[in-house]
Chains A and B, each alone.
Chain A
Amino acid sequence: MSALTTPGERRGATLSPVSPRRKITDRAVQGLVYLAFALAIIPLVSVLWTVIGHGLARLDADFFQFSMNGVSGKDAGGGAYHAIVGTLEQVAITTVIAVPIAVLTAVYLIEYSGNGRLGKVISFFVDVMTGIPSIVAGLFVLALWLLTFGFDFSGFAGSLALAILMIPTVIRATEEMLKLVPNDLREASYALGVPRWRTIVFVVLPTARTGIVTGVMLAVARVMGETAPLLLTIFFTKAINTNAFDGPQGSLPTFIWEQIADSNATAHDRAWTGALVLIALIMLLNLAARLLARGARTTGR
């Protein structure tokens, strides 16, 4: 151990240096940990690279202006206008359904239930609901809305399924934000004689607003890419259907699913461009949510 005698290593005379074996183990683990991270980055980069590479081929004005009405698989033209319209409508309806329910539930859990039994049960099932497979949500809407109530496939049915997936995520995000609201604000409001509900609506929720909006945007981004429940609830159409309450509607995920199932290369190009547009929408929403959250953090304190 020549290292022992070099003066640089002898900072504390009573300390013996780390033995080579321990040092090597430490380095080896560090290498493994770095490797794990690299392993996770490879698929992400590869996915983005492939989607951009394949997707640019059909990223033209036609893609955003035309539907697939009267376009067969091997035709070169056609676009996803009907799908983009469908996705935006379905996601908007989903948000309108899910956000009030989720925010109110979170308010109940944080502001009212305390440690009550109902609160605990709800909280437990919210956790369980987070784990519901998306296809099961689709099957549920199929069983309830289409088979029991007898409604036709529609964008709205799709929204119902997506809402089931969105509610638990928004509840959790809202809960986190409500927990961060300082209790002084609530007490100050009560001290002024403000009723409890007005305190929540006009003091607590506005304070947590940015965080809740961020959570909602992330949840929207998540459900936007869901395919499985939509296959069972909105079905397929090649034509533009702007009425989400009547008949099958298009959507970007089902558009991709339909086009990739076609054996023609032209259809595959459309599928990739659809994937590119979908990813771009989702990433934009994600990015906007992060920027919003960051802006709130720097200006809030």
Chain B
Amino acid sequence: MDAGPLLRVDGLTKRYPGVTAVDDLTLDLPRGRIGLVGANGAGKSTMFRLLLGLAHPTEGRIEVCGIDVASDPIRVRSRLGYMPEHDCLPLDQTAADVVSTFGELSGLPARAARQRASDILDLVGLDEARFRPISGFSTGMRQRTKLAQALVGDPELVLLDEPTAGLDPTGREEMLELVARLGSFGISVLMATHLLDDVQQVCDHVVMIDAGKLVVSGGTESLLERTGVVTIDVGGNGEALVGGLARRGITATVLDGLVEATIDGDDAMDALRDIVAELELPLFRLSTRLTSLDEVFVRRSRVPT
């Protein structure tokens, strides 16, 4: 069950009258936590429908967990969990009842469904609240219940659509923590989100799509590049540091109260350290400027018309 690629997409195209939602997409994604980021009507909901076998591709094929979606969508769906972005829970039932029923709808026998519902509700942190009707739940509790119904069938892959939407910062942190843990349970995650920060924090792999076309697909780590420019915060004494660096032949400037220096190797790093020490300046921050996923995205996606 753990072997094999998670998702294989080959020349996938989906055209609607007037718009091409997916345009010749080819992907080979490993198991783990994958972030799906899109711009310009990238058709994130179309992607989910295609993966669930609820829409037929105009061209190309999709393979989820080794199963061809076109030929056996039912079996694909039995391996998937889905957490939509919109409100989708029956409000007059209790969380325990809803999750248990959805467990049965995933094909689990009634007793097993009840058992798993209880386990999963523990996992997502819904305690006594699970016996209250969902109509009284806060956004955070509803999101957790939505995640619970996606997990109750023990899926191989969960599709999460903006799981942190509407959550306050604390709730967002808790949700991201939950999502991060899913990997350790052997559950892969495909998380669609507009927040690159969430992706950087939680996902091992990123897929970026712009107007239906693939922009980039790669490991999160590998996409973040080191630039060779080092940023230093010496608390307002930037000019002194720049002077000191210049005497050693290292170019640097002051920008927004911080010093940016071009460091070309280990020796230069050590020289920087020594100069700060000699000048007895406080070293508050030292970092090699990393591009953030934001910059990667903006740089590589096309300019919206």
Query: Real complex partners, A and B?
Result: no
Which residues in A have some Cβ–Cβ distance to B below 8 Å? none
